Structure formats: C-alpha cells, structure tokens
Chains A and B, each alone.
Chain A
Amino acid sequence: MKIFNAFMKVLLKRLNSSLIYVVIFISIGFAMTKSSSSEKEYENVRLNISVTDLDDTAASREVIEFIKKGSDLVDIGSSREEQTDALYYQKADVILTIEKGFSDRLKSGETEELFKEYSVPGTYSTELFDSQLNRYINMINVYISSGETVETASQKASSALSAEVETIMYNDNNSENNTLSKPIYFFFKYLAYIFTAVLTTGLCPIILAMNKKKIRMRVNCSSITTNNQLLQTTLGTLVFVAGLFLVIMTAAAILYKSELFSSHGLLAMLNAIVLIIVTMTICLLISVLAPTEKSISMISNVISLGMSFLCGVFVPQNLLGNSAANLGKLLPAFWYVKATNIIGEKEGEVFSSESFFSCLAVQLAFAAAIFAVSLVIAKNKRQSRS
C-alpha cells in the first residue's frame, strides 16, 4: 500500500485549503437554519417608507397612520444625497413628502399632486405603494362627497380599507411534508459549488503530485503492477471523496435531523452522490489537462464559479437569461440544480420521479463522457511522451 500511503501523506498536507471551504459552508448552513422560519402563513410585503409631513394636520397624520399599517417607516435623513443613497441601497423603497395645504386641498376636492415622491420609477415597490395611497385618497374623496369632514373621511377611509380578502397558502396534499424546506434545499443547492471547489482544489494537486515524472518513473520500475497502482490511487481518491461526503452529510444530519432522512431528503442525498461522481471525473480531466500545480487554482476557480453562475446555484434557474440557461444546460451542475429544484418544488419545478431520475441520468452521462475523454487524453499524453 505504498502508493496509498503516499497519497494520504500528500492529502494531509493539502487538507487545509479544502477544510476552509467545508468549515465556511457548514457555518453558513448553520446560520441559515437558525435564521430561517418556515413559511406556513401568508404575509404581505412591508415596504420601507420615509415620510416628511409638511402639512402637519389631523388629515396628514391620518395618512401617516394609514401608511404605518402596511409599511415600516424609516428615517433616512433629509439631504438629497442621503435620500438617493437610501433608494439605491434599498434602505427605503419610497420617500414621500406630504405637501403643505394637503388637508385644505382635499377639502376642496383637489386630489392632484397632494404628495411629492422620490422613488425608483417602474419598480414593483413603487407600483404597490402608489396604488395603495391613491386608493386611500380615492376613498377619502368618496366619504367627502357623501358629506363627511376631511378628518372623519380620513378615519373612515382607513377603517374601510382594512377589509381583507382571505389569503390561503397553497398546500399540495400529495406532497405534504414531502418537499424540502428552504434551509435544506439551499444546503443541497450550494453543494454544487462546494463539491467542485473542494475537490478541484483538494484532489487535483494530489493526483498531479502522484503523476510527477520522477515519482511515476520510480513507481513504474517497482514491483507494483499497473493495476495495483491504479487500484491504490482509486482507493485514496475514494477515501478522500467519501470522507468529504460523510462530513457534509453528518453536518446536514445535525442541522436538519429527520428531514434529511425523509423520502425527499434521501433523494437529495442520492442526487449529491451522483454529483460527487461527476465532480470526480471533472477532477480527473483537470489533472490530465493541467500543465502545472499553480494553474490548478485558476482552473478550479473558473470551473467552480462558472458552473455556479451558469447553472443556477447562485442565481435561481428561472431568473437566468436565455443564453446563460442554454449554456448552463451543457454543464452537469445544471442538471444537479434542476434535480434539487424538482425535489424541493422550487423555482417553478414540480416533483415528478421521472424527471428527477432523468436529471440523474444526464449527470451520469456527463460523468461517463468526461471520464472517457480523460482516458483518451491521458493515453495520448502517455504515447506522445514514450
């Protein structure tokens, strides 16, 4: 087991960089689990609104009370620069000024430009807030036209608008308790980045070190057969990969407990096993292609970040541009993320075992193709050297 031992020695020396990725990933997973709450009841989006009241009357104060019901008031400062920064960095969605004379103009039936608003035009937030405020003023007008004073009309409009329709969170009885919750879904989704980053930075330099000319020549002239060499290297690789998988899954078991062992959790685990096989073949290809050890960090960064951006790890697949999504389909991680979406019924995917297993099959086909290409390149390199 000389080669296996040498493999382990190199592995231990290079374990630090891989460990950094794993530790950061598990810490983020832990923080996400602590901070997330499962979404069982519908909640309206609360906008951040900054209000300046120049009128300061009972009616204008009633407007502020109405805004407070559905939004959060924020203090962002009064200078133009502070307001622009607040809108850009999304600290405030809308900056509203109630103009002087608001109450008097309302009394006389004037509704044009009662407010001045700074916002990013054409956004969902502006649309939502404007429609709510216009509706409120409209309602006040109705009461005023039926003979109420501005103050009473404001109060009545506010209470009239508190009528709400019943909002139901959709719950599919067939998949009840059977989809992945958000934290475990994101945990498995980000595995596509972590496995690629850890294995390419951890495994490739070891394979490259074992393939150094001097070491290779020394091994070749020993009594160890080629098959035995291959077996020991494969064993070393499997120990590393299995170790990584076990560490990640142990962390998942601690974080998500029984959910990991539910039917959908087990499917996610199966998907992760297939992904790790694909990643191993990618590492093999990089090791065969990489000219030097220094170039591995470049290749590793480009592949792990590239696949993550193109395949929908960092950005939801349904929000990717057409060209990015089409390009992503040519990469195995896209099918891993799609399978995770199918299990979690996220990003517009619906669970179907047929489509899930098709995604696994596509990943395995990628693995077979990458493995075959690696073997061909390795063989050509060997022949050209000899």
Chain B
Amino acid sequence: MFLHNLKYEFLNNIRQKESLFWLMCFPIILGTFFYMGFGKLYEKEEMFSEIPVAVTFAKEDAVFESVIGKMKNADDSLFEFRYADTDKAEKMLKKGDVFGIITVDDEISLTVISSGIEQSIIKSFLDQYKSQRQIISDISAVDPAGLTEAVKALHTETDTIKNNSPTNGNMNYYDMYFMNLITMAALFGMITGLYSAINNQGNLSAVGARKCLSPNIGFITIASSLLAGCITQLCSVILTTSFVLFILKIDLGGNILMIYLTGALGAFAGVSIGFFIGSAGRMSEAVKGAISTSVSLFCCFLSGLMVGNMKTIIEEKCPVINSINPAAIISDMLYYLTIEAGYTRYIEKAAALLIISLFFITGGFLMTRRKTYENL
C-alpha cells in the first residue's frame, strides 16, 4: 500500500503544471538571468586588468615621459597610457574609455569623473612619482654625492610581501547568488510539503476527504505522501544544481556529490517546513499556500538571494537569525564546499538543518495524528 500511494502521489505532484513551473523552470530561468547579469561581473569589477588612462602634455617633461615609457613596455604594466590632446582626452573620459586624465604641466594633475578603485590606483602612482621627485631634489640639494645611491634605491623593485590565498576554493563573491538559487530551489519544497499535508486533510481538500474515508493507516498514507514530495523536490534540486554546475559552469568546489547532498538535505528541510505549515491550523489552502511561499522567499531574502550582503548584515546585527534560518544554513553549507575549507563547519550546519527538519516534521505529524471529522 505504501508503494502504491507513493507512486500516485508522485504522479500527482509531477502533473501539477503550475507547481512544476515554480519548482523546476523558475530556478533555471532565474539562474540564466543571474548568469547574464552577474556572470562576468567579478572579472570586470574585481579582477585587476590594465587601467586605461589618458595623458596630455601641456608642457614637456622628459622625466615623466621616460617613466611612463618604461611602464608601457613592462610585462605587467598597471596602466594602458593613451596620449591625447585635452579635448580628445575629455571625450574619452566622458565615454568611460579612460578612468582619468594625467595632465603634465608645471605640476602634474589628475582629472577624474568619479571616485573609485581604478582612480585611486592612478592617483597612488602619481603621488609616488611626486614624492620620489621631491626626495631626489632634496637629496641633490643636501648631499649630491649620495644622489646616485638614492636613485638606485628608489628604482629597486622591492617585493616585501609574501602573498597567500586563504583557500584553494573559489572566492568569487557573486557566485553566492547561485548558491542562494539552489537554496531557493530546495526551499520551494515548502510548496510540495504543504500539498502533501493538505491532500491528507479532509477539511481542506476533496482528495484529503476521500483518504480519510479509506481504511488505510493514516501514518502510512502521510509518510508515503511526504516521501513522494521529497522525491519531487529532489528532482527539482538536482535539475537546478546540474544546470548551475554543468550548463552555467559555476565553480562551487570540487566535491560535486556533497553539493547534491546539500541540495537533498535542503529539499528535505523545505518539505518538512511546508508539511508543518500545511498541518497547522484550519486556514484555507490559499492562505497556507501564501504563507509557505512568503516564508520560503523571506528566508531566501535573508540569506542574500535578492541583496547579496544581507546574510553578512544579519550576522553583524543579529547572528541568531542566521543560525535558525534554513536558507542561510543551506547557503552556508554550499559556501563551505565552494571555498573548500574542510568539513567541520559543514557538518555542524548539516546537523542544525537536520534538527530543524526533524522538528518541523515531528510537529506536522503530531498535528495531523488521530484527526477525526464529524462531517465532511
């Protein structure tokens, strides 16, 4: 009987066209939009590439010209210098083709259209040039004999810093949106869990009323219904995760099996919360549906689906929310896999998620057990 129920509950789930759109298609469509919007943002915004800068000479300066000439020919040059007259340079600045204009006159000056990291790097280079010139002129005035030594020291390339990356994993901040997308797909299990509960409640659905009249053991009927919900949700999560990993090729760490396992745990959590909402109270199907959709989306909002740094803000202001928000827990688990930081914290979060799931599923069963109706 269990398997019979399971089969028909599953078939019932995959025949709900509207639910299927939200469970299977919407995460993929949203993922495609995320990819189009944020896919190349990290490379363009964060990763260093030669900064285009215009240079205009109002007065000849052989020293500065030779400095930028040397920098131009260097292999890992910071800047891409473009010589231009004032009008052309201003046009380039306004069009965003260059980040600043270096004007060489009696004094060197920088013109920018806005403040930003690229502009700060240009300014830092010019400040350095100005300081070095100042020092050379000071030393030549005070100690002309030491000038050669000082110039040599100034032009010595120093690498005072031993750089380390904290992890071998992916540090692309924008990939967090894809982790939250998988989280959303998993927590949409609330909708599936909700219908599992409603379809077993005689006062809320015709199917539920029919089931109440059957001689089947209630626990077996509900358990099979829940398992069917979990399987449906698992399919949805597998589809979304595979799309993110293999079509969009987002790097969420090397352990693909663990990524799927995280999705599966998330789907179980989603279904159990939905089951709890469906079992609680006597509100209509529409009201419970609205509650479960709002809860799932609100949890995802708090974990950063809509505003990337939301989870960080909450961690600073009220960290307890992140500890109990299933969406934050799932996205944290995916984050630990992405940065490849070992499994200690992952296991802690997985245990927390399982406890939350068990709490809701037990609550759901307690509310639905031994329910009888005077009339239907």
Contact = CB atoms under 8 A, between A and B. Distances in A.
Contact of A309 (B33, B118, B345): B33
A34 interface: no
A221 interface: no
B335 A133 contact: no
Interface in A82-110: 83-84, 87-91, 95-96
Interface stretch (A7-15, A239-247, A297-305): A297-305
B312 A91 contact: yes
B114 A39 contact: yes
The interface centre, meaning the residue of A96, A114, A121, A142 with most chain B CB atoms within 10 A of its CB, is A142
A83 B166 contact: yes
A329 interface: no
Nearest to A144: B153
A321 B36 contact: yes
A302 B29 contact: yes
Interface stretch (B39-47, B67-75, B242-250, B255-263): B39-47
B66 interface: no
B12 interface: no
A333 B78 CA distance: 37
B165 A134 contact: no
A129 to B, nearest CB: 9
B143 interface: yes
Interface stretch (A184-192, A226-234, A312-320): A312-320
Nearest to A321: B40
A91 B107 CA distance: 37
Contacts of A146: 139, 143, 146, 149-150
Contacts of A90: 173, 309
Given A116-B164, A166-B109, A167-B109, A161 B173 contact: no
A118 B48 contact: no
A251 interface: no
Interface residues of B, number: 81
Interface in B40-82: 40-41, 44-48, 78
A165 B26 contact: no
A309 B161 contact: no
Nearest to B162: A113
19 contacts: A42-B123, A45-B119, A88-B339, A113-B161, A115-B160, A115-B161, A121-B163, A124-B118, A128-B117, A137-B158, A141-B156, A146-B149, A164-B123, A165-B126, A165-B127, A168-B109, A298-B22, A305-B29, A306-B29
Given A117-B162, A160-B134, 8 more contacts: A84-B167, A116-B161, A127-B78, A128-B120, A138-B158, A161-B127, A161-B128, A167-B111
Interface of A: 39, 42-45, 80-81, 83-84, 87-91, 95-96, 111-128, 130-135, 137-139, 141-142, 145-147, 160-161, 163-170, 172, 294-295, 298, 301-302, 305-306, 309-310, 314-315, 318-321, 323-324, 327, 345, 347-350
